[in-house]
Amino acid sequence: DAKTTQPNSMESNEEEPVHLPCNHSTISGTDYIHWYRQLPSQGPEYVIHGLTSNVNNRMASLAIAEDRKSSTLILHRATLRDAAVYYCIRDTNFGNEKLTFGTGTRLTIIP
């Protein structure tokens, strides 16, 4: 039970922003939201994580709803190299936590 819900697939045009949604309606107050992505033929890699406020790093931005029941990963300017499966997971960010992934969103970038 991944406890998050994401669309199976999305498409976006190259050089345009991409908004990848994730629902986590049963999230607890101490759960962080983590995003990973998996490029073809590679293991998943960390993208970003956050708790309540919006977060930015060099790869992406994370917008978390005020009620924390959903979040959106934002790629500001998609490139062909961003084509991947994106996973949204929730985690306490501390301790010996079981990490559960789901099926993610397969993002296709159209040249």
One residue of 3, 10, 72, 91 binding another protein per CB under 8 A:
91
21 is a site residue for another protein (CB under 8 A): no
> 11 vs 45, which CB is nearer to another protein?
45
94 Cβ partners below 8 Å, 6+ apart?
none
102 is a site residue for another protein (CB under 8 A): yes
One residue of 40, 66, 96, 111 binding another protein per CB under 8 A:
96
Task: Tell me how crowded residue 101 is: count the other CB atoms within 10 A of its CB.
Answer: 15
Residues 39-78 contacting another protein, CB under 8 A: 42-46, 49
58 Cβ partners below 8 Å, 6+ apart?
none
> 42 vs 53, which CB is nearer to another protein?
42
φ/ψ (deg, to 5) at 64: -110, 130
One residue of 12, 24, 34, 88 binding another protein per CB under 8 A:
34
Residue 99 · residue 34 · CB < 8 Å: no
Strand partners, 90: 33
* Count of residues of this chain found to bind another protein when the rule CB under 8 A is applied: 26
